[in-house]
């Protein structure tokens, strides 16, 4: 499954009650999670023990794949994000609904792929060590590339700032188009020019 080596396969249930107890979730967080998720299982363990060709990384010692069976295709990402923040491990989440799935990872923020048939989803293991494998997984699922000069976290922050800047530029353009006063229009244009230069 997922194009991963058979040596990585483990099938261990992850009981929801155990999660609730261990992470001391509030009643509303438990209810919300319970409403979205029917079952969780550890399905793959990626480490030098299971894939000898990949060395341990400086930061990433192992990567897990957790299969999350959803109760609905139109699910809320908040409970999944809360789960990802609660477990201090490097985890790829395979979110299943019937015969379709999405893949999600959390690294400073949650990245999620688009829906695909379960058979077509693969989790590629590219990199010489687990740090590189994790970086490639996150950038692949998040659909961005990491500049050589930046770490994964730095690149995510740069991309986030760029997205905010683009949204601000779009909002300023709309505001400028709807403004009738020439003086205010010039002020907005000057502000817009400054932001455009930062792109």
Write down the pLDDT at residue 192.
82
SS (H, E, C) 49-61: CCCCCCECCCCCC
Digit-coded pLDDT (tens) for 51-75: 998 999 999 999 999 999 999 888 8
Q: How confident is the model at residue 42 (pLDDT cuts 50, 70, 90)?
A: very high
Query: How far is the C-alpha of 117 from the C-alpha of 113, rounded, in Å?
Result: 12
| Residue 192 structure tokens | 């817009």
Asked if 43 and 66 touch (Cβ cutoff 8 Å), the reply is yes
Write down the pLDDT at residue 12.
92
Interior/surface letters 126-147, b for 16+ CB within 10 angstroms, e for the rest: ebebbbbbbbbbbbbbbeeebe
Return the closest-CA partner of residue 46 out of 80, 13, 3: 3
Which stretch of 36-40, 130-134, 175-179 has the lowest confidence by average pLDDT?
175-179
Query: How far is the C-alpha of 47 from the C-alpha of 78, rounded, in Å?
Result: 28
Query: What are the residue ranges spanned by the domains of the chain?
Result: 6-143, 153-198
Q: Is the pLDDT of residue 99 over 80?
A: yes
Write down the pLDDT at residue 131.
93
pTM: 0.77
* Beta strand extents in 98-161 (DSSP E only): 100-106, 110-112, 116-117
Mean pLDDT of 30-55: 92
């Amino acid at each position: 499954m997922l194009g991963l080596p058979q040596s990585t396969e483990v099938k261990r249930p992850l009981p929801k009650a155990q999660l609730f107890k261990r992470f001391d979730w509030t009643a509303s967080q438990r209810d919300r999670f319970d409403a979205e998720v029917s079952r969780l299982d550890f399905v793959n363990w990626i480490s030098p023990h299971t894939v000898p060709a990949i060395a341990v990384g400086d930061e990433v010692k192992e990567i897990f794949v957790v299969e999350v069976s959803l109760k609905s295709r139109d699910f809320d990402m908040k409970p999944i994000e809360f789960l990802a923040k609660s477990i201090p491990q490097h985890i790829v989440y395979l979110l299943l609904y019937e015969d379709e799935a999405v893949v999600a990872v959390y690294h400073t923020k949650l990245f999620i792929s688009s829906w695909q048939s379960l058979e077509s989803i693969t989790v590629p293991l590219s990199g010489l060590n687990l740090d590189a494998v994790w970086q490639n997984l996150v950038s692949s699922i998040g659909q961005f590339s990491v500049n050589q000069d930046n770490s994964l976290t730095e690149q995510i922050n740069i991309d986030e700032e760029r997205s905010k800047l683009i949204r601000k530029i779009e909002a300023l353009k709309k505001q400028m188009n709807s403004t009738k006063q020439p003086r205010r229009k010039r002020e907005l244009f000057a502000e817009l020019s400054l932001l455009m230069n930062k792109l």
